[in-house]
A and B are shown apart, each in its own frame.
Chain A
């Protein structure tokens, strides 16, 4: 059994433009690990997980960390924007308090400073707390490769992002009338990543819900959006009884895995509580 303190050997590549990066990936895609902030990559590599010949850092590419309101009313966030900078951004705070708030309670000050929003959503790990938030908001991710660019939904990234592609931009639609709520449960509130989290965005017309999006964290990747549960809200008057039904449906729909602390049953219970609380928070 081996225990390592050191990083394994690798070659470090730091392209200076997206074109340079995608060209390198085209040539060496299976041998390259793309690194954004490094908090996940270096952590994994010290455990000898996902070690590849090349580590390609995106830090030298200019203008990948911008945060701005785009012309079509969307919020455009560069993948290399640190999670703290998203939390601190006036534009984000104004246009999507949900996202700014979720970023401000992600992990710890150091991880928020180093970790990037792109790295967080692209990592496919339980630590990807921004995925449910961005998904509930209906966000899109722009992927770039040597072959060109395409846009996918953030909740689909886990299966859409291919070797050779780089997450180049995150686009968050901003609907002013949307009511949103985010709830996260973790043992140590300001240190642990969410065991389970839920983000909801509701379009309301009086007490009636005209559109609803729910996204979950801490569940298996394909069940991050409990479609049946969110459809139950659409066109309905939102009552406590309905919220309870939706929460139960979400828990039923979500697939969770047991971990060293929590059983499947308990995590499902948490899904229920988080969804219920997130909806109530959104409406409050």
Chain B
């Protein structure tokens, strides 16, 4: 034992050894005695009424143990939505289907071949309805309604309007306006969705499934299965990727629950890759129109943003994507007047949810804006950014305060590390450089669920287990929690275990939802460790006959009276714990942390986190950062290759550099994929998704990965544990702007849409060439 700090140390992720050995247990690996295999029958129509379902043939197949349909088995009134405003999703529908691939019935059989055979024996009568695949079509007068009660297919609307934007734009010397788009992206998670439910006849549903927020999922299952929260237990499992795509209550879990209850046996539903891509979650397509008014010197006077967001068949957690772009946008660049008007629109496509890349066209729009305006006004592109970059303790339009930011520092550092000044406009032909900034919140408003409670339990040898409702998706939360407990108590990491994400054993936690882990969950763990440590010191003090604050843990692993190391009598942690047991008060710790949310000045209903106009302190901490990129453009094919990235991360104190750097690489890879390669396409005639496998959905591989250098600013945040804040997302959200700027620097054409397609770049190059030839003539 030693008091050497673990904060800021690079240590391997806890759990890595099991994973390297192939012995980690993921949901897909779990087999229970007597387990049945479930399979869903899915809609062949993008939009249709369900008239009749005949399951008799399937039920008569030997080995089929249960068949469920919405009409017969879905509890009425059980509707899923992550907030009351968006309760729109009957997880096994009985009225109609709203996208191709939606669940209509399911079977459980003694083996999977049989289950596949059995669903083919179910006959469904549909009345096909006209469908809509784009928000433009969905909003037309007379367009088919995905949900009858939502006029114009408008799922939700959100508005922040501060100051008089129109007046500010009128007053401006120059107004810049552009529209940016990004297409539907997929999480493409490695582990295919799997839900295993074991129903105990006494009334409890045991679930093993991939989720990044078990308590949210439990809530959704309670609302749809119509049981008590205590009737549902989500067990802790290793998870093959999440990245935002495992935030909601999936129909697969609900259906597994229905089947398991009906068959009174464990039922596993394992999806095929195509099933996952068609029927789980995507990231919403966005159209982002921005108007920015500038003074001659480059100061922003006002900004207006209009965003259309396409959520697919159900609002799901895409509702969060409606306001997160605001949280990002309003915090990056100062704007005395500001208007953010965002609409969430239903379409008959795969349901959208959150994704780690979040609001990338937002940050992209401003980085493109700065470069274009700087060129027009003859200002240095770095200086125009610094002039408008948010500073610490500034209040943003929706009245939140930015408690810490290193945005300006990150811009300066990224430019310096990339040698931007020397390279801009001076690289060899077809090569260019650009920069872009981004940010992200560390946890935002979720009503009373925006907090975490952690408990620590000590054993009589001094080892301990912490219970947190947070999850470890692989990014290293277990490691972070362990480092923090070790730092607080001085106990070595090897004596600390983390029990996470089990809804029966742990207190409620937001889960890994909206980057809550570092600030919310870790602070709760830290407080629990402090509480336990205080009890340890009290008993140690008692045994040493001094007050608790006169005791300290020394290098030999014993508690000694301060300043009297080695003299007299020291007590070991084990002795302390055993004494506590004997006294009937075992060492334990309780820690709670609530997101710093303050609506007090604004009449907001805290119980309903969705409000058309939500003002106040909605976010606990913001991360920032800037990336600089160098690109190479093939002017024959229009292909863009990113060759180098320099990334500067303002994530507060860096708790474990190796792990954060790895997470940064992951974010850059996600951004690169969506910037250059990944896109989803639907067949306009049938409503079928055409990009449902890893061959057609083009995730970058090692060979697309550029040279990456990472840097930290290390500016501590007042709210985060030891000054840490979100570290894997915000810094990289400006990558698309950086790429667009670099392409412009390389070949003089400008892209506003992602993914940046070779065909589009080639077209722009040809247009430019013909313009230049015309000019010469």
List the interface of chain A (C-beta within 8 A of B): 1-6, 9, 185, 187-192, 260-263, 266, 269-270, 273
Residues of B within 8 A of A266 (CB): 758-759, 762
Cα separation A2 to B106 with both chains bound (whole Å): 12
In the complex the two chains form, is B690's CB within 8 Å of A188's CB?
no
Query: Looking across the interface, which residue of chain A has its beta carbon closest to that of B698?
Result: A187
Residues of B within 8 A of A9 (CB): 113
Among A1, A263, A266, A273, residue most surrounded by chain B Cβ atoms (within 10 Å): A1
Q: How far is the CB of A198 from chain B (nearest CB, A)?
A: 13
In the complex the two chains form, is B700's CB within 8 Å of A273's CB?
no
Q: How far is the CB of B723 from chain A (nearest CB, A)?
A: 40
Cα separation A6 to B116 with both chains bound (whole Å): 8
B691 interface neighbour in A1, A260, A269, Cβ under 8 Å: A260
Binds A, one of B271-279, B520-528, B590-598, B739-747: B271-279
Q: How far is the CB of A43 from chain B (nearest CB, A)?
A: 9
* Chain A CB within 8 A of B679 CB: yes
Q: How far is the CB of A184 from chain B (nearest CB, A)?
A: 12
In the complex the two chains form, is A273's CB within 8 Å of B272's CB?
no
Q: How far is the CB of B5 from chain A (nearest CB, A)?
A: 43
Residues of A within 8 A of B701 (CB): 188, 190-191
Cα separation A6 to B109 with both chains bound (whole Å): 14
In the complex the two chains form, is B42's CB within 8 Å of A192's CB?
no
* Range, interface on chain B: 35 or more
- With A188-B704, A192-B698, A266-B759 given, name 4 new contacts (CB 8 A): A1-B101, A3-B272, A190-B701, A260-B681
Cα separation A269 to B638 with both chains bound (whole Å): 10
List the interface of chain B (C-beta within 8 A of A): 41-44, 100-101, 112-113, 116, 119-120, 270-272, 274-275, 278, 636-637, 677, 679, 681, 690-691, 695-696, 698, 700-701, 703-704, 757-759, 762
Q: How far is the CB of B643 from chain A (nearest CB, A)?
A: 14
> What are 6 pairs between A and B in contact, CB < 8 Å?
A1-B41, A1-B44, A188-B698, A189-B704, A192-B695, A261-B757
Q: How far is the CB of B655 from chain A (nearest CB, A)?
A: 34
Q: How far is the CB of A205 from chain B (nearest CB, A)?
A: 29
B116 interface neighbour in A4, A187, A260, A270, Cβ under 8 Å: A4
In the complex the two chains form, is A3's CB within 8 Å of B681's CB?
no
In the complex the two chains form, is B703's CB within 8 Å of A191's CB?
yes
Residues of B within 8 A of A5 (CB): 112, 116, 270, 272
Query: Looking across the interface, which residue of chain A has its beta carbon closest to that of B100?
Result: A1
What are the 6 closest A-B residue pairs judged by CB atoms, nearest first? Answer: A3-B275, A266-B759, A1-B42, A260-B681, A1-B44, A190-B703
In the complex the two chains form, is A2's CB within 8 Å of B42's CB?
yes
In the complex the two chains form, is A260's CB within 8 Å of B696's CB?
yes
Q: How far is the CB of B124 from chain A (nearest CB, A)?
A: 10
A261 interface neighbour in B112, B278, B679, Cβ under 8 Å: B679
Residues of A within 8 A of B272 (CB): 3-5
In the complex the two chains form, is B637's CB within 8 Å of A270's CB?
yes
Cα separation A261 to B677 with both chains bound (whole Å): 10
Cα separation A209 to B362 with both chains bound (whole Å): 55
In the complex the two chains form, is B704's CB within 8 Å of A3's CB?
no
A6 interface neighbour in B44, B112, B120, Cβ under 8 Å: B112
Cα separation A168 to B10 with both chains bound (whole Å): 58
Cα separation A169 to B280 with both chains bound (whole Å): 46
Assess A3 versus B112: contact at CB under 8 Å? Given A189-B703, A192-B698, A261-B679: no
In the complex the two chains form, is B270's CB within 8 Å of A260's CB?
no
Residues of B within 8 A of A262 (CB): 759
In the complex the two chains form, is B113's CB within 8 Å of A6's CB?
yes
Cα separation A269 to B762 with both chains bound (whole Å): 10
Cα separation A78 to B505 with both chains bound (whole Å): 62
Cα separation A188 to B697 with both chains bound (whole Å): 11
Cα separation A260 to B758 with both chains bound (whole Å): 14
Residues of A within 8 A of B636 (CB): 273
Cα separation A3 to B275 with both chains bound (whole Å): 6
In the complex the two chains form, is B704's CB within 8 Å of A1's CB?
no
In the complex the two chains form, is A2's CB within 8 Å of B703's CB?
no
Cα separation A261 to B679 with both chains bound (whole Å): 8
In the complex the two chains form, is A3's CB within 8 Å of B42's CB?
yes
Residues of B within 8 A of A192 (CB): 695, 698
Query: Looking across the interface, which residue of chain A has its beta carbon closest to that of B275?
Result: A3
Residues of A within 8 A of B120 (CB): 2
Residues of B within 8 A of A185 (CB): 637
Cα separation A170 to B704 with both chains bound (whole Å): 34
Query: Looking across the interface, which residue of chain B has its beta carbon closest to that of A191?
Result: B701
Residues of B within 8 A of A270 (CB): 637
Residues of B within 8 A of A263 (CB): 759
Residues of A within 8 A of B690 (CB): 260
Assess A188 versus B703: contact at CB under 8 Å? Given A266-B759, A266-B762, A270-B637: yes
Residues of B within 8 A of A190 (CB): 701, 703
Cα separation A5 to B273 with both chains bound (whole Å): 8
Query: Looking across the interface, which residue of chain B has its beta carbon closest to that of A189?
Result: B703
Q: How far is the CB of B183 from chain A (nearest CB, A)?
A: 12
Residues of B within 8 A of A2 (CB): 41-42, 116, 119-120
Query: Looking across the interface, which residue of chain B has its beta carbon closest to that of A273?
Result: B636
Q: How far is the CB of B375 from chain A (nearest CB, A)?
A: 30
Q: How far is the CB of B443 from chain A (nearest CB, A)?
A: 36
Residues of A within 8 A of B274 (CB): 3
Cα separation A270 to B762 with both chains bound (whole Å): 11
Query: Looking across the interface, which residue of chain B has its beta carbon closest to that of A267?
Result: B759
Query: Looking across the interface, which residue of chain B has its beta carbon closest to that of A265?
Result: B759
Residues of B within 8 A of A3 (CB): 42, 101, 271-272, 274-275, 278
Cα separation A190 to B704 with both chains bound (whole Å): 9
Residues of A within 8 A of B757 (CB): 261
Q: How far is the CB of B41 from chain A (nearest CB, A)?
A: 8
Cα separation A280 to B703 with both chains bound (whole Å): 25
Among A5, A263, A269, A273, residue most surrounded by chain B Cβ atoms (within 10 Å): A5
Cα separation A4 to B274 with both chains bound (whole Å): 9
Query: Looking across the interface, which residue of chain B has its beta carbon closest to that of A190?
Result: B703
Q: How far is the CB of B714 from chain A (nearest CB, A)?
A: 36
A188 interface neighbour in B275, B677, B679, B691, Cβ under 8 Å: B677
Residues of B within 8 A of A269 (CB): 637, 762
Residues of A within 8 A of B116 (CB): 2, 4-6
Cα separation A118 to B737 with both chains bound (whole Å): 46
Q: How far is the CB of A278 from chain B (nearest CB, A)?
A: 13
Query: Looking across the interface, which residue of chain B has its beta carbon closest to that of A276?
Result: B636
Cα separation A191 to B693 with both chains bound (whole Å): 14
Residues of B within 8 A of A260 (CB): 681, 690-691, 696
Among B278, B636, B703, residue most surrounded by chain A Cβ atoms (within 10 Å): B636
In the complex the two chains form, is A188's CB within 8 Å of B700's CB?
yes
Residues of B within 8 A of A6 (CB): 112-113, 116
Cα separation A263 to B43 with both chains bound (whole Å): 30
Query: Looking across the interface, which residue of chain B has its beta carbon closest to that of A262?
Result: B759
Cα separation A179 to B677 with both chains bound (whole Å): 34
Cα separation A188 to B678 with both chains bound (whole Å): 11
